[in-house]
Amino acid sequence: MADGDHPHLRRPGRPVSGPHPGRDRRARRLDARGGRPRVSGDGPRVAVVGGGIAGLSAATVLAERGVRVVLFERDAQLGGRLAGWGTRLADGSEATMSRGFHAFFRQYYNLRALLRRTDPGLHGLIGLPDYPLRHRDGGQDGFARVPRTPPLSAIGFVAQSPSFGWRDLGRMNPRAALPLLDVAVPGVYEALDGVSATDFLASIRFPEAAHHLAFEVFSRSFFADPATLSAAELVLMFHIYFLGSSEGLLFDVPREPFPQALWDPLARYLGGLGVEIRTGTAVRDVRPVGEDRVELGVAGAAEGFDGVVLALDTGGLRTLVGASPQLVGAAWRASVGRLRTAPPFLVSRLWLSAPVAADRHGFLGTSGFGGLDNVSVLDRWEGEAHRWALRTGGSVVELHAYAVGPGRRRAEVEEGLVRRLREVYPETARAGLVDARHEWREDCPLFTVGGHRDRPGVRTGDVRVVVAGDLVRTGLPVALMERAATSGFLAANALLERWDVRGETVWTVPARGRSAVGRALAELGRRTSRVP
């Protein structure tokens, strides 16, 4: 559904109430249906299956409105792909390991709204000064000095970028680039979901260096090779972060590890609202009961609920739906069964005996370094790592490798990342390795070419059952962590409508291209492309 088709999405120029979520005054507001602010008396009982961002977002909205929530999480800790857990290092230090660096972009209005429940001023986040991208051939781009307001953002990037000069504009195919100027949902999927990100960039004839730096780095943040990633997702991301909003490409990171900064405070908040949190508890199946109830198979027993939010990762959703033969309908279950998981990725965290050079960035995106996708120097911004570095005189460095190719041996990839680190930051070759942790995972959604039609929406056709997560179609211009938070809010809102309770307001970046001229050119391109 395009935003203009959303009956509760306010259009530009209409006044809105409540605080504005960010810098961009054209951000769009989706008002929730429902009349009452809370359910009265003994409220309905809802199960939320999954304790990541999506499940926590849904549980928060429901509990705040008087719904009795039971949150099930199969792992021992909350946070999903942003979970963290304790570990003891070889030097005896206690540390928190996680699944790696995540950037909290300033367009993440709904995720930030969730975090404000326990940190109203978002003081637990700290901004990094730049988003640098380096190619092995020596080229490096950044976004600190790029204007944030479209279209000046694109013009400023071209003017300042060593990898994308004005002469390159004459070599590009402007007609093929027109979709970038007016991105709307679901139109972007209708036009580009059948094209790979690689083929789309090739059709535009982007300069090779700019291709690697400004786009391949972004596409691999979806944990996928650009050759398998839907061009629609890449173009949507370009709109969200670059041409569609005024927040730019700078971002924040948590000042402390994820549990301490984010999830422990939120768990206490939910507990105060009466939410029952069951970590280490997997849900076996979901069965409809009559017309109004569902039963969940948990720990060998059946528990009844008035509704359920399925907020699982791709593999977890596929497994649970496959074990629930009466859930929703056969066509819906078949589409869930066709969902794919992205290739494996590696997060390597190294505790080094010597510091990296003082001028190194807290985060650096890389391309052309043999599978190394980025380097984070955690002691530049994470308190726990910083305290360890001060105490030992060392440093804490994290390396990521996305979309690891089939057949690659774990030891080979882990050793290769360390070699590449020494190439990117040569001083690390002289540092001893105090300890290391390597996290291999394969549980991110794959937004494959042509796969959008199989992704579930928030609503399933059964009013008792809703879905949330970063794999979900929302009909709104959101991606990654923000899609998880947004879908969690929307899933809670869909259930609250049953009880005539007003849900959570949802915000997004502008849902169309910012420039009237750009929108007109894109429309002209669409029309001429349909002429035989």
What is the distance between the alpha carbons of residues 2 and 235, in angstroms, rounded to a whole number?
A: 16
- Kindly report whether the peptide bond that precedes residue 186 is cis, defined as omega within 30 degrees of 0: yes
Can you give the length of the chain in residues? 532
The token pair at 243 is 């041409």
* Span 269-290, pLDDT tens digits: 999 999 999 999 999 999 999 9
Handedness of CA 161, 166, 170, 174 (dihedral sign): positive
**Domains of the chain in sequence order:** 35-79+258-339+447-502 (3.50.50.60), 133-249 (no CATH), 343-441 (3.90.660.50)
Q: What is the pLDDT of residue 74?
A: 97
Helix, strand, or coil (residue 293): strand
Q: What is the pLDDT of residue 513?
A: 65
Please provide residue 402's backbone torsions phi and psi, each rounded to the nearest 5 degrees.
Answer: -100, 155
* Span 336-374, pLDDT tens digits: 999 999 999 999 999 999 999 999 999 998 888 888 999
Handedness of CA 181, 106, 443, 377 (dihedral sign): positive
* Span 7-43, pLDDT tens digits: 344 333 332 334 668 766 678 888 888 889 999 878 8
What per-residue string of b and e applies to 469-501 under the rule 16 or more CB within 10 Å gives b?
Answer: bbbbbbbbbbbbbbbbbbbbbbbbbbbbbebeb
* pLDDT for 519 beyond 70: no
Contact indicator for 458, 113 with CB cutoff of 8 Å:
no
What is the distance between the alpha carbons of residues 272 and 464, in angstroms, rounded to a whole number?
A: 26
Alpha helices in 186-326 (DSSP H): 187-192, 197-204, 208-210, 217-219, 231-238, 258, 264-272, 314-322
Q: Is 187 exposed, middle or buried (0-12, 13-18, 19+ CB in 10 A)?
A: middle
Q: Which residue has the higher pLDDT, 468 or 163?
A: 468
Q: Is 49 exposed, middle or buried (0-12, 13-18, 19+ CB in 10 A)?
A: buried
Q: What is the pLDDT of residue 500?
A: 95
Q: What is the pLDDT of residue 515?
A: 60
Mean pLDDT of the 252-264 span: 98
Report the predicted TM-score, pTM, of the whole model to 2 decimal places: 0.91
As a whole number, the mean pLDDT across the chain is 87
Nearest to 518 by CA among 71, 134, 177: 177
Contacts of 412 (CB under 8 A, 6+ apart): none
Residue 473 identity: R
Contact indicator for 254, 261 with CB cutoff of 8 Å:
yes
Residue keyed to tokens 């995720």 = 111
Q: What is the pLDDT of residue 10?
A: 37
* Span 99-118, pLDDT tens digits: 999 999 999 999 999 999 99
Please state, for a pLDDT cut of 90, what percent of the chain lies above it.
65
